[in-house]
Chains A and B, each alone.
Chain A
Amino acid sequence: MTASEVDPALEAGFEAGFEAGFEATIARNDRIEPRDWMPEGYRRTLVRQVAQHAHSEIIGMQPEGSWIGRAPSLRRKATLLAKVQDEAGHGLYLYSSCETLGVSREQLTEMLVEGRQKYSSIFNYPTLSYADVGTIGWLVDGAAICNQVPLCRTSYGPYGRAMIRICKEESFHQRQGYELLMTMMRGTDEQRAMVQESVDRFWWPSLMMFGPPDAESPNTQQSMAWGIKRNTNDELRQRFVDMTVPQAKALGVTLPDPDLRWNEDRHAHDFGTPDWDEFMAVVKGNGPCNAQRIAHRRKAHDDGAWVREAATAFAARTTQAALEGTSR
């Protein structure tokens, strides 16, 4: 038998063996690495999740980026610039791990600007006041940390390693935001009102960042079985609420939920239900800023094309010069 005629029974046997190896690795709580065999569904789920995560970091630069030039002092500008630059870095770590699953960077960028892959719904809300910079650091990065810390133990090696790098940097993001809000709360009545108004706008969208309720999240169970996700959406949302309530109290702001109260029996906070219709509308592309965010990303990519092409041409010319043994 030649190499080209593979016996189908033999091939099925190999496949079953590989699958057993994969399942055993997952069962041992060990990591799957890029060159390991993996089921197509596992690969597809990871590409979707890691790409969505990467896109969120990249699109997430926009709402805050628009305040860099208007931040009130050099210190605040430098902090915000560093924070937004970190988000670019997070996007790059994640694109790099996504590419180990066999998709190219160019494909990923195309799928984002054509709306075929999603990013976090939170970034489709506008930043109307400077207090939003603080609120985003506190609540949005806070929610991201809640999501990301368990993902450091995700079953796919490159994704987990990217998450570890990201988590190390996120605590700066949350703390600078909280400190900004504390500073404003020590200011005038008008400044305190700005903080409260900002928290009122961002509280519910922050809770939506954890995704739909478990009962309506069809992929969660399989993702948990594969060790891609370590907690359900509702578990993480609860954790976030419990972490945030005392922080809000220390800050002196009210979280805009009349049903929010401590439940002694559950040893956790009860809280109201986010507006899931609004969430679905934003996910489907009808949030306040969806079109603007994508248009901006597309423009940045198109405007950068000549730089990418010039660098490629320069590299080709210097390689050629080196081959010919001439100096350029």
Chain B
Amino acid sequence: MTDTTPRAEWPLYEVFVRGKRGLNHVHVGSLHAPDDEMAVLHARDVYTRRNEGVSIWVVRSDAITASSPDEKDPLFAPSGDKVYRHPTFYDIPADVPHM
């Protein structure tokens, strides 16, 4: 019989890659690693085998605070009725250039 007692898993890290200079780091996925240093090495092997990035960030998933359990929660609802935040809210005569 094999031993089925669950071993402690390596913690989960989220991986962010900057595709090239001038771009933001973008979330690309996650991986398990024993520590921060190994997480960067694993991220390089898993997510940048073809020069997909010039810089990698890793962060423990449990260190991330998210806005709400549901992505469409009321936290974002108020911005829906603040149309005055959008440029098209303001009427500008058509003959005014470069607006």
Dominant SS among interface residues on chain B = loop
Of B31, B32, B38, B69, which one neighbours A35 at CB under 8 angstroms? Answer: B69
Give residues of chain B (43-78) contacting chain A, Cβ–Cβ below 8 Å. Answer: 45-46, 49-50, 66, 68-72
Give residues of chain A (130-168) contacting chain B, Cβ–Cβ below 8 Å. Answer: 158, 161-162, 165
Q: Which residues of A contact B38 (CB under 8 A)?
A: 311, 315
Tell yes or no: A21 within 8 A of B by CB. yes
Give residues of chain B (25-49) contacting chain A, Cβ–Cβ below 8 Å. Answer: 28-32, 34-35, 38, 45-46, 49
Tell yes or no: B8 within 8 A of A by CB. yes
Chain B residue nearest in CB terms to A312: B34
Q: How large is the interface on B (under 10, 10 to 19, 20 to 34, 35 or more residues)?
A: 20 to 34
Interface size on A, residues (CB 8 A): 33
Q: Is the CB of B29 within 8 A of A37?
A: no
Q: How many A-B residue pairs have CB under 8 A?
A: 60
Question: What would 16 more interface pairs be, CB under 8 Å, given A86-B49, A105-B9, A165-B28?
Answer: A33-B71, A35-B68, A35-B71, A36-B72, A37-B70, A89-B49, A92-B31, A165-B29, A169-B50, A308-B7, A309-B7, A312-B8, A314-B34, A314-B35, A315-B35, A318-B35
Q: Is the CB of B70 within 8 A of A35?
A: yes
Tell yes or no: B79 within 8 A of A by CB. no
Tell yes or no: B10 within 8 A of A by CB. yes
Using a CB–CB cutoff of 8 Å, the interface residues on chain B facing chain A are: 2, 4, 6-10, 12, 28-32, 34-35, 38, 45-46, 49-50, 66, 68-72
Docked pose: A105 CA to B61 CA in angstroms: 15
Q: Which residues of B contact A259 (CB under 8 A)?
A: none
Tell yes or no: A97 within 8 A of B by CB. yes
Q: Which residues of B contact A104 (CB under 8 A)?
A: 9
Of A97, A110, A312, which one neighbours B29 at CB under 8 angstroms? Answer: A97
Q: For the complex of A and B, list the 9 residue pairs with the smallest distance between their C-beta atoms, beginning with the closest.
A: A315-B35, A311-B34, A315-B34, A96-B30, A96-B29, A92-B46, A312-B34, A106-B9, A33-B71
Shortest Cβ distance from residue A159 to the other chain B in the assembled complex, whole angstroms: 11
Give a binary string over A311-328; 1 marks a CB under 8 Å from any B CB, 0 the rest.
Answer: 110110011000000000
Of A36, A92, A161, A318, which one neighbours B71 at CB under 8 angstroms? Answer: A36
Tell yes or no: A242 within 8 A of B by CB. no
Q: Which residues of A contact B72 (CB under 8 A)?
A: 21, 36
Q: Which residues of A contact B9 (CB under 8 A)?
A: 104-106
